[in-house]
Chain A
Amino acid sequence: MSAHMILAQAATQVSTGEAVSFWILGPLALGGGLGMIFARNAVHSALFLVLTMLSLGVLYMVQQAPFLGFVQIIVYTGAIMMLFLFVLMLVGRDSSDSVVEVLRGQRLAAAILGVGLGGLVVGAVARSIREVVPVGLQSAFANGGKGNVYNIGRLLFTDYLFPFELTSALLITAAVLGYVDRHVRGRRTQRELVVARFRGEHDRPSPLPGPGVFATANSVATPALLPDGSVAPESLPEIIEATAAEQFADEVQAVAGTAPTPDAHALVGTEVREEPS
């Protein structure tokens, strides 16, 4: 058996360690994808997608693409998914899906079409690659020789130089657009904002009242009390669960003036109180 055949056989057969990692990480990745679809909460969806991307990153490393695996973990789970979570927190974490079906039977049709698409793609892939003998990345132009990172860099700066420059143009366009969209377009001066506020473009012209500050509590979850002793509902943030109003019954009574005053005869007893009458 020549050395070439041994190499080819080694490339065809997958080592036991790789098989074990595939059968652990593959179902994890698939489960993460399914969990992303079926999770009600958008934050849970994002975390399931993080699970999928981490599993895929490790699978890249197993598949002789170590640099791509690390870039996957750093760029996707580190940067892109954190951006997603950041926007989710800005939009509001309780922004779940509406249950109103605009198109009738759309979800059922989508599920059927999805199963059909999955069957078609998986069937086509499984049939077409049965006879393929993988070469493996042992050659000097792949992972051999000076290694994976060196060869990727060489490819990027020789064969793929023009697409590489195009991505720089794409990235700088995206960065400029992200900045312009946030900061330049639609920026109003303070005077215009005041006019708009009193024209009713905002909910109310004045800022919301601050939370209540008592001797016993100064958290933002504490409701402020109006002059008549009732709770000002606008002083409570919607997201944070407010402290129960009953807990501040003493303060409410004190502000309203209905609290029991100190009793001068309390120490003497009830019989003394009856004496003058």
Chain B
Amino acid sequence: MTPSYYLVLSALLFTVGAVGVLVRRNAIVVFMCIELMLNAVNLSLVTFSRINGTLDGQVMAFFVMTVAAAEVVVGLAIIMSIFRTRRSSSVDDSNLLKY
């Protein structure tokens, strides 16, 4: 086995996350699938850092984590406010912006 097996695992995890975004209806589960995709990219960044012999990939993975944390705060706040006005967290129900 070589470190490139990690890249295959990362590609598989990214695909699973992408399919989840397309298939699931619950907005929170869709959000979790996006987190899974970000994690898969992090794994490939760490592997690239090991292949190249520098730490740049790990630093980029830190930045991805920061963006993911900020995104979760904003996205969950939006989901909560939609849920409070509409009593539903399904992405099919929020097809109008105002009502």
Query: Chain A interface (Cβ within 8 Å of chain B)?
Result: 11-12, 14, 19, 22, 26, 29-30, 33-34, 36-37, 42, 45-46, 49, 52-53, 56, 59-60, 63-65, 67-68, 71-72, 75-76, 79-80, 83-84, 87-88, 90-91, 95-98, 100, 102, 106-107, 110-111, 113-114, 117-118, 121-122, 125-126, 129-130, 132, 134-139, 141-143, 148, 151-152, 155-156, 159-160, 163, 167, 170-171, 173-175, 177-178, 181-182
Contacts and interface: CB of A to CB of B under 8 A. Distances in A.
Interface residues of B, number: 70
Contact of B67 (A59, A110, A136, A167): A167
B16 to A, nearest CB: 4
B56 to A, nearest CB: 7
A71 to B, nearest CB: 7
Contacts of B53: 11, 134-139, 142
Nearest to B16: A33
Interface of B: 1-9, 11-20, 22-26, 28-29, 31-33, 35-36, 39, 42-43, 46-47, 49-56, 58-59, 61-63, 65-74, 76-81, 83, 88-90, 92
At the interface, is chain A mostly helix, strand, loop or mixed?
Answer: helix
Contacts of B26: 42, 95-97
22 contacts: A14-B1, A22-B1, A26-B5, A29-B13, A33-B13, A36-B16, A49-B35, A52-B36, A59-B43, A63-B47, A68-B42, A72-B65, A79-B69, A91-B79, A106-B22, A114-B18, A121-B11, A122-B15, A126-B8, A130-B4, A155-B59, A181-B81
Nearest to A85: B28
Contact of B39 (A53, A122, A152): A53
A52 B13 contact: yes
Contact of B72 (A72, A83, A97): A83
A12 B29 CA distance: 38
B23 A36 contact: no
